[in-house]
Amino acid sequence: MIKSVPVFLIILFNLSYSQSSQSFFSPQNRLKFGDYLYCQKDYLRAFDEYRQYLKFEHNDTLLFKMGLALREMGRFSEAEDYFSNLSFNSAFAARSRKEYFKTLFISGDYTKLKEETVSNRFTPYDKNFLNSLNMSAILLWENRLPDSTGFANSFQPDLRPKMIELFMRKKYPDYKDQLTAGILSGIVPGLGKIYNGDYGDGITAFLFTTVLGYLAYDNFKADHNFRAWLFTGLTAIFHAGNIYGSVASAQMHNAEYDLLLQREIKKIVESENYFDSEKPDFCK
C-alpha cells in the first residue's frame, strides 16, 4: 500500500502536467502569443503561431496580418497571395486589395502593377488608389514623366505638395556635368570638385598640386634637374588624377541624388498612412 502511493502521485503529476501543457498550447494562448510577437515585430514566429491557430479556426484578421508579416520579411510573392485571396468576399477585402497593390510597388513588380491598373476586376475606388501607386512608380522608375497637372491630381490634396516637389526634383535634377567638372579641374586644380560640392577635396587638390608645381619650378630654377623632373612628374600624375577624380565625383553626385530621391519616394509609399489612414492598428 505504501509503495503504491508514490506511483499514484507520479501518475497524478503527469496528468496535471499534461493538462497544463495542453492549456499552454491552446488556440487562444497561441493567438495571444502570436499577437505579442507581431507587435514586437518578430514576424517569423508570429506567422508560425498564427498558422497553428488557423488549424482550429478560420480568421480573416490573422490572414491579413500574416500577409503584412510576410511583406515585412521580404517574402513578397507569398504576401501577394495572402492579400489576393482576401481581396474578395472577406471582411478585409478592400484593405487587402490596397495592401496587394502596395506589395507590388514595394517589391518593384512594376510590370504587374501596370497590368492591374488597366484590369477590369477592381472597383473605381481601387482604380484611384492604383493610379496613385502607378504615378509613384513612374516617378520612381521611369525617365519620361507625365503632365504635372495629371500627376498631381492622382494624389490626395494633403499629399500633392510633397509629390509635386518630388516630381520637380525628378524632372529638373540637380545633376553635375561630368565634362564640365573635368574641364574645370583641368584649368584650375580642384575647381571641378568644388563645382561638385566637394569643397574640402577641391581645396586640398588645389594646394597639393600648386605646391608640387612650385617645387618643380623652383628646382628647375636652381638647376636641380633630377628633383625638378621628379616633382614635374608627380605634379602631372596628381593633376591627371584630380581631373579623373572630378569626373568620378560628378558621377557619384548624380548617383547619390537619384538614390536619395528614390528613398524619399519609397518612404512615402511605405509609410503607414500612404494615401489614406484606414490601416488598422493591431498593436494599440
Average pLDDT, integer, range 265-270: 81
Sign of the torsion formed by the C-alpha atoms of 48, 52, 55 and 56: negative
Distance, in Å, from the CA atom of 224 to the CA atom of 237, rounded to the nearest integer, reads: 20
Q: Tell me how far apart the alpha carbons of residues 28 and 11 are, in angstroms, rounded to a whole number.
A: 27
Rounded distance between C-alpha atoms, residue 111 and residue 46, angstroms: 31
Q: What value does the mean pLDDT of the chain take?
A: 84
Q: If you search the block for the grid coordinates 502570436, which residue do you land on?
A: 34
What is the number of helices (H) and of strands (E) in the chain?
14, 0
Q: What is the pTM of this model?
A: 0.66
Is the CB of residue 251 less than 8 Å from the CB of residue 198?
no
**What is the per-residue pLDDT across 149-201, written as a single tens digit (0 to 9) for each?**
888 888 888 888 888 999 999 999 999 999 999 999 999 999 999 999 999 99
Q: Which pLDDT score, from 0 to 100, does residue 137 have?
A: 85
| Angle, vertex CA 116, rays to CA 112 and CA 117, nearest 5 | 115
CB 59 within 8 A of CB 53: yes
Tens digits of residue pLDDT in 70-81: 999 999 999 999
pLDDT of 151: 87
Distance, in Å, from the CA atom of 47 to the CA atom of 44, rounded to the nearest integer, reads: 5
Question: In this prediction, what percent of the chain has a pLDDT beyond 90?
Answer: 45
What average pLDDT does the segment 36-57 reach? 93
Measured in whole angstroms, the distance separating CA 23 from the mean position of its chain's CA atoms is 42
AA identity, residue 21: S
Estimate to the nearest angstrom the gap between the alpha carbon of 116 and the chain centroid.
Answer: 22
- What would the grid cell of residue 283 be? 498593436
pLDDT over threshold 90, residue 64: yes
Residue 231 and residue 212 in contact, taking contact as beta carbons nearer than 8 Å: yes
Name, in order, each residue with C-beta under 8 angstroms of 112's C-beta and a sequence gap of 6 or more. Answer: 104
Percent of the chain whose predicted confidence (pLDDT) is above 70: 87
What would the pLDDT profile of 254-263 be if each residue is shown by its tens digit?
999 999 998 9
- Beta carbons of 246 and 182 less than 8 angstroms apart: yes
Gap between the terminal Cα atoms of the chain: 58
- Residue 36's pLDDT band (boundaries 50, 70, 90)? very high
* pLDDT of the residue at 20: 45
